[in-house]
């Protein structure tokens, strides 16, 4: 996901189409997904013809339709995000529900990708025993994918050395050698998408693994017991119950940053003040209410909010919040999405400034 986000953030073209669609994991619900997607593609086509010449639209629509025709909806998660312009077309599946919408602009609407990355609820579960290891990618309480290829890994380290087998230290060394091999496989698998790692293993194994791992900073916690025979979905459900407390703690820490900024007057809630602070490199952390979008005009760096029903008109930015997020990232800032009640007293958007 990080690689795709980097790609789309660096593309500036006329007629960048972003389509987001809620999808379904199982039949018969996912049989409706291709139909709903085709309807959104038709909406994108209509908007393109309203804004551009047909000779511009035809190759773009071919690029988009070719991509859409090759999506296998039997592997859908909670949503699809599709990016297409005249010389680029890619999609990704996300394990988070989104609003069905079409955005046509000079840049892609990357906000939904960023939201999925910043909700801090994506993680891996390493199911570890002294016999084998499995790796599951998860988001919230849902299994995204159980990794295959390198995984599962069977422990094939054996010895006939009686001294090693007869001492606790010798047995521990054998176990840690196996865990070290598992750790190298984990690092290779997640190198393009590093996320927190939660271990599902006996407590004694947890301590041995933490001792040998190269990624101690990614280890988030563990649940006890051998779970070799358990299904991935059942394991993720139990891990998620443990993760909820950790997520609440992280959100509380981020909100504490906001309250501290308020006490030192290093915060802004006005759209224009926020925008100008961001483009001048003063933005640090942007807090956004989950699910909040705002269409706007941007004229000479002045943000002019418009009504929702005008968002499809030419020249209107579908979501100025997306633009704020993107610009803030360019200057090294980050984004935190929080529940409505927690940000209510500030409005829907708050920026902590660097100075």
Beta bridge partners of 288: 337, 349
Query: Which pLDDT band, with edges at 50, 70 and 90, does 58 fall under?
Result: very high
pLDDT greater at residue 162 or residue 212:
212
- Mean pLDDT across the stretch 8-29? 91
Please determine, for residue 247, whether its predicted confidence score (pLDDT) is greater than 60: yes
Q: Backbone dihedral region of 68: left (phi > 0), alpha (psi from -120 to 50 degrees) or beta?
A: alpha
Burial class (CB in 10 A: 0-12, 13-18, 19+), 136: buried
Q: Which residues pair with 125 in a beta bridge?
A: 136, 198
Instruction: Give the pLDDT band (50/70/90) at residue 281.
Output: very high
Q: What's residue 1's pLDDT? A: 58
Is 265-353 the same fold as 122-248?
no
Per-residue pLDDT for 235 more than 90?
yes
Residue 99 has pLDDT above 70, yes or no: yes
Which pLDDT value is given to residue 164?
Answer: 55
Residues comprising the chain, all counted: 355
Structural domain boundaries of the chain?
Answer: 2-118, 122-248, 265-353
171 or 211, which is more confident: 211
Q: Is 78 helix (H, G, I), strand (E, B) or coil?
A: coil
Could you give the 3-state DSSP secondary structure of residue 160?
coil
Could you identify the residue written with the tokens 């209509």?
Answer: 46
pLDDT at residue 124, as a whole number = 96
Q: What average pLDDT does this structure show over 141-158?
A: 90
Q: Which top CATH class is 265-353? A: alpha beta
Q: Is the pLDDT of residue 343 over 60?
A: yes
Looking at domain 122-248, its CATH architecture is 2-Layer Sandwich (3.30)
Of 94 and 149, the one with more pLDDT: 149
The most confident of the ranges 32-46, 109-123, 240-254, 341-355 is: 32-46
Question: Alpha helices of 52-149 — where are they, by DSSP H?
Answer: 54-69, 111-118
**pLDDT at residue 163, rounded to an integer:** 56
Does this model's pTM top 0.85? My answer is: no
Element (H, E) at 189: helix 168-190
Per-residue pLDDT averaged across 32-36, rounded? Answer: 96
pLDDT of residue 161: 53
Q: Assign a CATH topology to domain 2-118.
A: 3.30.960
Give the model's pLDDT for residue 83.
96
- pLDDT band (50, 70, 90) for residue 230: very high
Q: pLDDT at position 162, please?
A: 55
């Amino acid at each position: 996901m990080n690689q795709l986000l980097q790609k789309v953030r660096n593309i500036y073209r006329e007629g960048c189409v972003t389509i987001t669609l809620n999808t379904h994991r199982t039949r018969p619900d996912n049989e409706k997904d291709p139909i709903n997607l085709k309807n959104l593609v038709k909406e994108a086509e209509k908007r393109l013809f309203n804004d551009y010449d047909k000779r511009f639209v035809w190759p773009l629509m071919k690029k988009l339709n070719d991509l859409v025709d090759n999506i296998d909806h039997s592997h859908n998660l909670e949503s699809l995000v599709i990016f297409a312009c005249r010389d680029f077309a890619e999609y990704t599946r996300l394990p988070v529900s989104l609003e069905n919408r079409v955005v046509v602009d000079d840049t892609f609407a990357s906000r939904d990708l960023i939201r999925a990355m910043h909700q801090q609820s994506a993680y891996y579960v390493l199911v570890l025993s002294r016999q084998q290891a499995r790796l599951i990618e998860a988001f919230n309480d849902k299994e995204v994918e159980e990794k295959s290829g390198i995984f599962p890994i069977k422990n094939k380290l054996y010895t006939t050395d009686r001294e090693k087998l007869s001492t606790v230290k010798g047995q521990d060394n054998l176990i840690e050698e196996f865990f070290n091999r598992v750790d190298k496989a984990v690092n290779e698998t997640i190198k393009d998408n590093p996320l927190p790692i939660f271990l599902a293993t006996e407590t004694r194994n947890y301590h041995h693994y933490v001792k040998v791992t190269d990624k101690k900073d990614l280890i988030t916690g563990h649940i006890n017991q051998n779970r070799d025979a358990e299904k991935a979905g059942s394991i993720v459900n139990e891990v998620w119950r443990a993760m909820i407390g950790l997520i609440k703690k992280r959100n509380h820490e981020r909100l504490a940053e906001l309250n501290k900024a308020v006490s030192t007057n290093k915060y802004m809630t006005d759209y224009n003040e926020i925008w100008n602070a961001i483009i001048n490199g003063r933005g640090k952390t942007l807090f956004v209410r989950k699910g909040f979008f705002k269409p706007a005009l941007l004229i000479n760096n002045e943000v002019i909010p418009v009504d929702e029903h005008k968002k499809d008109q030419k020249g209107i930015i579908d979501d100025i919040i997306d633009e704020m997020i993107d610009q803030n990232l360019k200057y090294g800032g980050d984004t935190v999405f929080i529940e409505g009640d927690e940000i209510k007293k500030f409005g829907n958007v708050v920026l902590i400034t660097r100075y």
